[in-house]
A and B are shown apart, each in its own frame.
Chain A
Amino acid sequence: MRWTVPATMACCLVVAGPIAVKADAAIHPLLADQDDETVDEQPEDAPEVDEAAVARARIERLIGLASTGRAVVRPQAAARLVEFGTEAVELLRGPVGEDGEGLAALGPDLVEVLADFGDAELRKRLWWQLDEPDFPWRPQAARSLARSAAEVERPRFLLLATDRLGQVRAAAAEALGALGRDIQSGDAVGLTEPALRTGLADPDERVRRAAASALFEWGDTAAPFWLLEELKRDDTFFELRTGERARFAAARVLEAQLGRLEGYVPTSDPDQLEMRLAWRKLEERLLAANGGVRPELPDVAQSRAQQIDAIFGLELRSCRHGDIFLRWTADDELFVGTGRAVRVALPEGTTSRLIAGVADRLDRLGDERFWGTSGCDAEQLHWRPPGAERTANYLVSKGAEPIPDLRPEALTDVARAILANLPDGANDDPRLANLRRRTTDALAAIGGPTGSRR
C-alpha cells in the first residue's frame, strides 16, 4: 500500500480542545505559557489529557510540515521530528512503507534526516530507495546515510563513489572519509583511498572538495592544495557567482582544519593584493607541511577559468539526472560545466545559426519568462545576444512529479535545436561523454520530452 502525506496534515490540528492546544504548545514556547494558564483555570473534573494522543498529534503535524510545509519550515520541522526519536519512528513507518516506496512523497527534507533516527529498518529502506534510479531524493538519502556511515556499509559507499549524480558521489566521499582507511579484512581492502584520490579529479567540484576534505582529515598533506586552489576562483556562469561559492566552501573546510586563514576573506576579489598575500601565506604553510612539494592538480581542478563571453546558455538541474551547464560563444565554442569548463570547438557558423533560430522562438513567448512551480527540477535558458544590456532568463521548473506540457512549444523548439548541435558518444572527459543523450534525458525529465533522438 502506498501512503501519501495528506496535504492537510500540516494544518489539520487547528481544532478546539485541550489536545490541540497541547500539541501546539510543544511547538511554540509562547503558547506553552498560555497553555499552562489554561490548565490552571480548568475545573477539577476536566477530562484528563491523553498524553499519547498529544504526542501523536504533535508528531503527525511535524511530519506534515516537514513534507509539505513552507520551504523555510520543512528542514526545521524535520529536525524537531528527529528529537522525538522512537515515538516518531513508529508513526513514520506507515508513510515510509514496506519497501520505502512512500519516501518520495515525504519529500527531500524528511529524507535528509531519516537516518538520524538511528532506526535500522528506516535505514534499510533508505538504502533500498537509493538503489532506485527513479527515486527523486537520492542525494538527500545518500547524505543522510553518510552522516552515520557504518563499517558494514563501506562497500556500498564505494559503489556510490562512482554514481552518476555528483551530489551522491560527494556524499559517498564524505562517508568514506568518516569511515577512515580500510580495515585489513573483507573485500574493501585498500579500495577507499584510491576511490577518494579518483574523486580529486571528479568533474563535479563538490566531489573534489569532499574527497580533498576527507583526505585532509586523514592527515594527507597534499589534499589541501585542492582547496587552496579554489580560493582563487572567480568564475561565473552568467550572473551566478560560481567562483565565489566555491571560495566560501573551500575556505570553510580549510578554516576548520587550519584555523586562521591569514586574513583571507572569500567575499573579496581574489585578485586583490591583500587576498593574494593571504593566499601566499597559506600556500607557504601547506608547502611546509608537504615537504616543499606543490602537487600537480588535474586540469579540472585548476582555478584559471577562461573568459567566456557567452551569448546564450542552458542550465539544467534535475533531481534524477543531475546538473548540466552549457554555454555558447559567438566564436563557435561550446563550454560545458562550471569553473574550468571544457571547451568544444563547433563547426563554423553553428552559433550564429542557433542564435537566429533561438531569437525567433523567444519572440513568440512575449513577456512570459517562467513556467511551472518551485522544486528540484529546473531548466533555464540564459539569453544575452550581442548588444543586450542584461541576460534574459527563461525558466521552467517543477518538483519531483511530472507536469504534462510544462515547457512551452517555443522553448521545446530551442531545446531541439540545441540538442541537434551537441556532441555525443564516448569521450574521455566525463563532462562530454554522451552529452546529447544526457541532456535529452534531463530535459525530458524536467519540462517534458523534446521529441529529439537520443
Chain B
Amino acid sequence: MLRTCALILAAAPLLAAFTTAATPTSIAMSPFAFGEPTEVSLLELANVDWKKGKDLPKEIQDLKGERVKLVGYMALDTPEGETSFRMSYESCSCSTSKVTHFVKVKMPKGEVTSFEPGTIEVVGTFYTGAKYDEDGFVDSVFRVSASSIKAK
C-alpha cells in the first residue's frame, strides 16, 4: 500500500507550464524516485569558489549521483521547447552570470521547456564537473537530470 502511494505521489502531474512533446516515461520507474532527496541550496552552489582547472569542494563533489531537490527560478532567457534550461537562485538577470550561478537542468524524458516566471522545485540526479561547449567555454559546472519539475 505504501509503495502504491509513493508511486502515485511520484507520478503526480508535472508543472502545468511544461508541455509534453512525447509520451512521458513513468517517473515512478526511476530508481531514484524513492526516499527524500537532499535539498541543495542554489545560493550555496553560486558561492562556490571555483574557476577553470580548480577542483570543486569535496562536499559538492560528494553530491555527484545523489538525488537532490533544488528550489529556484528558470533563467529569463529560457527558450520554449528545449530539453534543458538554466536554473538560478534569482529570477532576474541582475547578477554577473558566473557559470556557478546556474545549474543546467535536463528536462524529464519527453518533456520540453515552457518558461515559468515563478519559483520552481526540481528533483533529480545531481552531476558536477565542468562541461565545455564547442569553443572551449565552460557551459556548466552543475547539472541535474530532472525526474520532476513543479511550480513551488
B134 to chain A, nearest CB (A): 7
Kindly identify which residue among B91, B97, B134, B138 contacts A71, using a CB–CB cutoff of 8 Å.
B97
A390 adjacent to B151 (CB under 8 Å): yes
Give B103-121 as 1s and 0s: 1 = Cβ < 8 Å from A's Cβ atoms.
0000000000001111100
Number of interface residues of A (CB under 8 A): 42
Main secondary structure of the interface of B (DSSP, over half): loop
B63 interface contact, C-beta 8 A: no
Kindly identify which residue among A31, A73, A376, A392 contacts B94, using a CB–CB cutoff of 8 Å.
A376
Give Cα A215 to B133, complex, Å: 42
B136 adjacent to A30 (CB under 8 Å): yes
Give Cα A245 to B45, complex, Å: 12
Give Cα A333 to B13, complex, Å: 37
Q: For residue B134, which residue of chain A has the nearest CB?
A: A28
A393 adjacent to B91 (CB under 8 Å): yes
A17 interface contact, C-beta 8 A: no
* 8 A Cβ contacts from A358-385 to B: 369-370, 373-376, 378, 380
Kindly identify which residue among B75, B93, B119 contacts A376, using a CB–CB cutoff of 8 Å.
B93
Give Cα A376 to B93, complex, Å: 6
B52 to chain A, nearest CB (A): 8
B99 to chain A, nearest CB (A): 5
B135 adjacent to A71 (CB under 8 Å): no
Give Cα A28 to B137, complex, Å: 8
Q: Which residues of the other chain, A, contact B93 by a CB distance below 8 angstroms?
A: 71, 374-376, 378, 397
B41 interface contact, C-beta 8 A: yes
Number of interface residues of B (CB under 8 A): 37
Q: Which residues of the other chain, A, contact B136 by a CB distance below 8 angstroms?
A: 27-31
Give Cα A73 to B133, complex, Å: 9
Q: For residue B77, which residue of chain A has the nearest CB?
A: A374
Given A71-B77, A373-B76, does the pair A76, B99 have CB atoms closer than 8 Å?
yes
A241 adjacent to B89 (CB under 8 Å): yes
Give Cα A374 to B134, complex, Å: 24
B48 to chain A, nearest CB (A): 11
B96 adjacent to A75 (CB under 8 Å): yes
B6 interface contact, C-beta 8 A: no
Q: For residue B151, which residue of chain A has the nearest CB?
A: A390
Q: Which residues of the other chain, A, contact B4 by a CB distance below 8 angstroms?
A: none
Q: For residue A241, which residue of chain B has the nearest CB?
A: B43
Kindly identify which residue among A29, A30, A76, A252 contacts B47, using a CB–CB cutoff of 8 Å.
A252
A317 interface contact, C-beta 8 A: yes
Kindly identify which residue among B117, B132, B139 contacts A380, using a CB–CB cutoff of 8 Å.
B117
B100 to chain A, nearest CB (A): 10
A76 adjacent to B117 (CB under 8 Å): no
A395 interface contact, C-beta 8 A: yes
Give Cα A52 to B115, complex, Å: 44
Q: For residue A140, which residue of chain B has the nearest CB?
A: B96
Given A239-B118, A239-B152, A245-B89, does the pair A72, B97 have CB atoms closer than 8 Å?
yes
B86 interface contact, C-beta 8 A: yes
B135 adjacent to A394 (CB under 8 Å): no
A234 interface contact, C-beta 8 A: no
A15 interface contact, C-beta 8 A: no
B18 to chain A, nearest CB (A): 13
Kindly identify which residue among A24, A244, A390, A392 contacts B41, using a CB–CB cutoff of 8 Å.
A244
A395 adjacent to B41 (CB under 8 Å): no
Q: For residue A245, which residue of chain B has the nearest CB?
A: B43
Give Cα A393 to B152, complex, Å: 12
A76 adjacent to B96 (CB under 8 Å): no
B150 to chain A, nearest CB (A): 10
B44 interface contact, C-beta 8 A: yes
Interface core residue of A29, A75, A376 (most chain B CB under 10 Å): A75
A375 adjacent to B135 (CB under 8 Å): no
* 8 A Cβ contacts from A196-248 to B: 239-241, 244-245, 248
Q: For residue A74, which residue of chain B has the nearest CB?
A: B97
Give Cα A83 to B99, complex, Å: 19
Given A267-B41, A390-B151, A393-B117, does the pair A378, B76 have CB atoms closer than 8 Å?
yes
B43 adjacent to A71 (CB under 8 Å): no
Given A24-B135, A28-B136, A380-B91, does the pair A75, B43 have CB atoms closer than 8 Å?
no
Given A71-B77, A71-B93, A73-B137, does the pair A248, B43 have CB atoms closer than 8 Å?
yes
A344 to chain B, nearest CB (A): 24
Q: Which residues of the other chain, A, contact B119 by a CB distance below 8 angstroms?
A: 239, 390-391
Q: List 22 A-B contacts (CB under 8 A).
A: A27-B136, A27-B137, A28-B134, A30-B136, A31-B136, A72-B99, A239-B118, A244-B41, A266-B44, A267-B41, A267-B43, A317-B94, A369-B116, A374-B75, A375-B76, A375-B93, A378-B76, A378-B92, A378-B94, A390-B119, A390-B151, A397-B93
Interface residues of B (CB under 8 A from A): 41, 43-44, 46-47, 71, 75-77, 86, 89-94, 96-99, 102, 115-119, 132-140, 151-152
- 7 smallest beta-carbon distances between A and B, as pairs: A374-B76, A374-B77, A28-B136, A395-B117, A393-B118, A239-B119, A393-B117
